Structure 1
Amino acid sequence: MDSFITIRFKRKTAKCFQEFSKTHFKSHTDAMATMLDFFFYNEISPKENFGPTGRTIEANLLKRINAVIAIMRDVEKTQTKPTVAMMESLFQTETPTKKPLILEKKFIDKQKKVRFKEKENPNNEL
């Protein structure tokens, strides 16, 4: 059986380590051994900064996704919809109405209907 050794820590640090150790490991020795193995195996120092956290990465991705969505909407409004409208107008098969030429005259009945007639007055002689 291994013997124990005493290490001096500040009270606040010791309490924090004990709480962490109780929730994740069977003993304080297992907790410390696992943490040391982690740092040695990954060849990192606890003082190193790992870069952006998951929250900052997520926030940056959401910003970029919103920017891409805005670009796609703009492309749809300025390019796709007008192009589709032009293509639809090209492929419409409406028969054009035949308009008579300006020079062409169509003669309607030669007899014009009289709308107003003068009253015949026998007393009125000219």
Structure 2
Amino acid sequence: MDKGYEKERFESVSLKISVAKKFNSYCRKLSKSKSMTLLLMLEFFEDNGISPAETMGPKMQTLEHLIKKRFNGVIAILKDMEKSQTKPTVAMMQSLFEESAPKKQNLILEKKNAEKDPPKYQERNKQET
């Protein structure tokens, strides 16, 4: 018995013999009763918003191939963007920061200045003292 539908009564549906045979074999494949198989089919079409008269389009393998192609296209675009935009921009930014970094200069101390003075200046300082 079908769960949740035990107390419902049966209604007859008229089918052609060839359709009834095909439907019976499909019910056996699913291991469901005829009522549950028909209910599953109706819910499938309603949930997916498709009509049984419409085709589902290409098979899953074809769809998978198309998706892989698009992913490869996206990857190629991203790699091109990285080459042409990101890397040059990063290089420019690094060169700007390297140039703007202050160069380290030695502090000027009095002792070093006295030692670097020319000898004439040192002699004058000695004579004045």
TM tier, shorter chain?
0.3 to 0.5
Of Structure 1 and Structure 2, which has the larger fraction of its residues in helix? 2
Q: TM-score under structure 2 normalisation?
A: 0.46
Give the greater-gyration-radius structure (CA). 1
Higher relative contact order (CA 8 A, sep 6+): 2
